[in-house]
């Protein structure tokens, strides 16, 4: 009965009268339980990390029914952790919550304690309240109370706010770093798209003698995949394999296996991705691992294999998620399997999102079923986004349907999604149809607005090289342009080959 009464204290709604009844029951039936001075901390800790909101509800109720309860540094660490993890409150509510806890810590003279100070910095930082977090950090630094947790909490806050330069300045100024601070900085680079910086930092981490944790490994594998840095990805994999033979190994769990599959696939090594997936245990082959492998097969043109793997996944009792269905629908579209795409779409156990509609529209468009694709877009329960309308525009272009393209372009303009790529598509269609050259000229003039330059990456001898449109700063640019010229001439010869029709290899080849 006492345990049931304590559970009531964590309920979402509890009136003052109900609270008094719970208190009376505890007093009459569990006086020994209430006499336990560690009870409040035990109750608060029992709800973390799964129920941060429950901690925030329980704390004031404990203070009401236990007059002798004065939160100590441990209680504050639990409460502030809950305040940092609770994401359902608005910005204003978060500011009020954390500042109220801060005020209570000051009143009870716990604000200078390392646990509490770090908890306050982390709570302020988690809700984007950087000025308050910085003031607390500077105060802790001046008093000598700042430790590696204080530095890492603020570093993470800056990275979440997109201020990678400030995060790096903090990282460089840290008097002592642990694996968490290294992985926090590496994750900051990955989140900001600084993949080459992330790989360099990982190498520096190893040279410093710090053993990478799971977050650092996942971050560097993501960076290698984004860079297409296959050799560096293999090196990280070998590092993991070598580490598993040592006493201080990091277990190959589902997250790491999934990251390896994704990395190898993005680096173009489908065979290596298959090997990692096949070597994973049934427990490691969860929905994320299956989704990564399905996506890898689809991206490498093995669409039917991707669809077969989806069936195997379901047969093994692994429940697909929203992303899995996006990958499978994409594979169906690329393989021209419109019937399979419709069947998968209808069989989804969850409500299809705009991304799933976009995949089905793309499948219909690739199969030349433009009218059906248009009808699907008109009946969508939500407004179409740029991906849906882009797939529709591509279908219109494939059929040369200028009128339908104009309608799609108008939809895109209404949603302010008519970027330069849309105007390129339209102008090309007008030119190909030999009509409205004034409109072609107008669209070309509109494309003079500034746009993000295209870029590509390639790995050469283990080094990832990035090329940006218009940039001629590479030291071997002359050799590169010479090779491009030779390739262009070779492609022109292929197009003029008698066995080619409209620039596509004849079926006889």
Within 8 A by CB and 6+ apart from 120, the residues are 80, 98, 101, 102, 105, 111, 136
Residue 80 lies in a domain: yes
Axis crossing angle, helix 179-191 with helix 148-160, rounded to the nearest 10:
10
User: Is 483 domain-assigned?
Assistant: yes
The whole domain housing 493 covers 458-505
Residue at which a domain ends, from 233, 250, 267: 250
Q: Are 82 and 107 part of one and the same domain?
A: yes
127 and 190 housed in the same domain: no
Q: Tell whether 165 is covered by a domain.
A: yes
Q: How far apart are CA 69 and CA 73, in angstroms?
A: 13
406 within some domain: no
Torsion of CA 52, 57, 60, 64, to 10 degrees: -140
Average pLDDT over residues 265-284: 95
User: For 487-502, b where at least 16 C-beta lie within 10 A, e where not — what string?
Assistant: eeeeeeeeeeeeeeee
For the chain, what is the mean pLDDT?
A: 82
CA atoms of 360 and 477, how far apart (whole Å)? 42
Spell out a b/e string for 184-215, using b for 16 or more CB atoms within 10 Å of the CB, else e.
bbbbbbbebebbbbbbebbeebeeeebebeeb
Q: Is the pLDDT of residue 443 over 50?
A: no
Question: What's the predicted TM-score (pTM) here?
Answer: 0.77
Name the phi and psi angles at 504, rounded to 5: -120, 140
pLDDT band at 14 (very low <50, low <70, confident <90, very high): low
Task: Say whether pLDDT at 502 is over 50.
Answer: no
Residue 14 domain flag: no
23 domain-assigned: no
- More confident site: 301 or 462: 301
Per-residue pLDDT reduced to its tens digit, 66-120:
777 889 999 999 999 999 888 888 888 888 999 999 999 999 999 888 889 889 9
334: in domain: no
CB 76 within 8 A of CB 115: yes
**Total domains in the fold of the chain:** 3
The answer to whether position 154 is within a domain reads: yes
Phi (first) and psi of residue 185, to 5 degrees: -70, -40
Predicted pLDDT at 33:
57
Which H helix or E strand runs over 450? none
Residues 170 and 237 in one domain: no
Question: Which domain-ending residue is among 197, 219, 250?
Answer: 250
Instruction: Please say which residue of 250, 269, 291 terminates a domain.
Output: 250
What does the pLDDT look like over 208-259, one tens digit per residue? Answer: 999 999 999 999 999 999 999 999 999 999 988 876 555 444 667 889 999 9
- Report how far residue 374's alpha carbon sits from residue 34's, in angstroms, rounded to the nearest whole number: 67
CB 370 within 8 A of CB 359: no
């Amino acid at each position: 009965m006492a345990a049931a009464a304590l559970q009531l204290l964590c309920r979402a709604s509890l009136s003052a009268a109900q609270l008094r009844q719970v208190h009376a029951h505890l007093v009459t039936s569990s006086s020994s339980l209430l006499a336990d001075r560690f009870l409040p901390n035990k109750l608060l800790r029992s709800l973390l990390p799964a129920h941060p909101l429950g901690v925030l509800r329980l704390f004031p109720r404990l203070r009401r029914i236990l007059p002798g309860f004065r939160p100590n540094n441990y209680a504050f660490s639990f409460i502030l952790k809950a305040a940092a993890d609770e994401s359902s409150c608005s910005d204003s509510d978060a500011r009020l919550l954390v500042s109220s806890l801060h005020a209570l810590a000051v009143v009870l003279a716990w604000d200078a304690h390392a646990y509490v100070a770090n908890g306050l910095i982390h709570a302020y930082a988690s809700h984007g309240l950087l000025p308050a977090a910085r003031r607390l950090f500077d105060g802790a630094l001046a008093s000598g109370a700042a430790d590696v947790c204080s530095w890492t909490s603020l570093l993470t806050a800056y990275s979440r706010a997109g201020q990678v330069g400030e995060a790096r300045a903090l990282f460089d100024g840290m008097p002592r770093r642990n694996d968490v601070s290294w992985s926090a900085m590496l994750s900051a680079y990955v989140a900001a798209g600084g993949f080459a910086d992330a790989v360099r930092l990982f190498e520096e981490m190893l040279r410093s003698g710090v053993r990478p944790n799971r977050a650092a490994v996942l971050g560097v594998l993501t960076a290698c995949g984004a860079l297409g840095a296959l050799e560096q990805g293999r090196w990280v994999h070998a590092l993991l394999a070598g580490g598993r033979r040592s006493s201080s190994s990091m277990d190959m769990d589902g997250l790491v296996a999934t990251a390896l599959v994704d990395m190898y696939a993005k680096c173009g090594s489908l065979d290596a991705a298959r090997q990692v997936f096949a070597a994973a245990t049934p427990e490691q082959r969860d929905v994320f691992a299956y989704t990564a492998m399905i996506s890898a097969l689809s991206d490498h043109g093995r669409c039917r294999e991707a669809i077969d793997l989806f069936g195997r996944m379901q047969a093994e009792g692994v429940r697909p998620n929203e992303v899995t269905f996006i990958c499978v629908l994409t594979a169906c579209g690329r393989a021209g399997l419109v019937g399979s795409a419709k069947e998968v779409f209808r069989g989804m156990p969850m409500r299809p999102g705009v991304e799933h509609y976009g995949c089905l529209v793309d499948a219909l468009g690739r199969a030349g079923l433009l009218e059906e694709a248009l009808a699907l877009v008109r009946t969508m329960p939500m407004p179409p986004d740029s991906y849906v309308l882009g797939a529709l525009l591509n279908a219109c272009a494939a059929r040369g349907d200028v009128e339908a393209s104009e309608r799609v372009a108008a939809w895109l303009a209404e949603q302010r999604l008519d970027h330069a790529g849309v105007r390129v598509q339209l102008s090309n269609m007008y030119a190909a149809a030999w009509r409205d050259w004034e409109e072609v000229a107008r669209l070309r003039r509109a494309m003079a607005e500034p746009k993000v330059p295209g870029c590509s990456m390639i790995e050469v001898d283990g080094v990832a090289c990035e090329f940006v449109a218009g940039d001629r700063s590479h030291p071997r640019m002359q050799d590169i342009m010479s090779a491009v010229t030779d390739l262009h001439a070779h492609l022109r010869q292929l197009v003029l080959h008698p066995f080619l029709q409209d620039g596509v290899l004849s079926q006889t080849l």
